[in-house]
Amino acid sequence: MPCQIRALSVVAVGIALSTLAAGGVSGLSTEDDGFRWKVHDEDRPKPPVVAIENGVPSDAVVLVGAESGTDALRSGDQPCLWSFEDGVLKVNPGTGDIHSRDSFGDCQLHLEWKFPEGRSVNGQMGGNSGVFFLDRYEVQILHTFENESYSDGMAGSIYGQFPPLANPIKPAGQWNTYDIVFRGPRFDDEGDLVRPATLTVMINGVLVQDHVGLLGPTRDKARTSYEPHDPVGPLRFQDHGDPISFRNIWLRSLSAPQMAE
């Protein structure tokens, strides 16, 4: 380590230790340091209990489950035209995208999907779908097990914007899990962007998007910019012409971040 950097490190450690000794670091002090709550404050509200039944949190809205049917989904203004049997929803190629009957904003989404065995795939063709938040922001679904494609279109990409950090997609015939945290963009009264939409995505338990700020709505072969829109909208699933199966789709609506509450 160069001398100058080593000297700076020693100074930094010294400052940190003296600050700790003075009880001046927020979160370590038991004094009134301006933070709303004291350390271990018994009056601080407790988080709600969330029970888990068959892997589904009790405060989740189930869009597709073992006994859900497809009542929560629509094809345009018609009932869902994709097939549904034994808890498995399957793209009915050519019938078009489907969307949730209800609108959602910030949320935690869980879904599972599977590419069928025995089907050929080539880049973006053969094993493609996707999930769009607020009908605009796509997290790509693509069978990328031993299948090459452009990186900002791989499974777990924010389509056309950000490649995934890893490619943990399983072989054909096996279920993949997506766990996603979506926060919508915020606009001020003039319609100017205050904060971009953000996405955090785990595929099969592997982090592939780490609280990434989106450039705007996702588009094929194009970049876009933000235009003000409602804070809620339908969740959309893509019919890209491929018989992708889905199961266990549920989401939890999230309130605004409350870091300092």
Shortest spacing between CB 40 and Mg ion, in angstroms: 47
Pairing of strands 233-237, 128-133: antiparallel
For Mg ion, the closer of residues 86 and 220 by Cβ is 220
Residues of this chain that bind Mg ion (CB under 5 A): 128, 130, 140, 238
Residues in the chain: 261
What is the DSSP-derived secondary structure letter of residue 154?
S
Q: Quick one: tokens of 101?
A: 């009957």
In Å, the largest CA–CA distance within the chain is 71
Shortest spacing between CB 123 and Mg ion, in angstroms: 12
For Mg ion, the closer of residues 238 and 248 by Cβ is 238
Shortest spacing between CB 256 and Mg ion, in angstroms: 29
DSSP string, 125-140: BSSEEEEEETTTEEEE
Q: Quick one: tokens of 248?
A: 């266990």
For Mg ion, the closer of residues 80 and 141 by Cβ is 141
Shortest spacing between CB 89 and Mg ion, in angstroms: 16
Say how far apart CA 165 and CA 49 lie, in whole Å.
33
For Mg ion, the closer of residues 68 and 100 by Cβ is 100
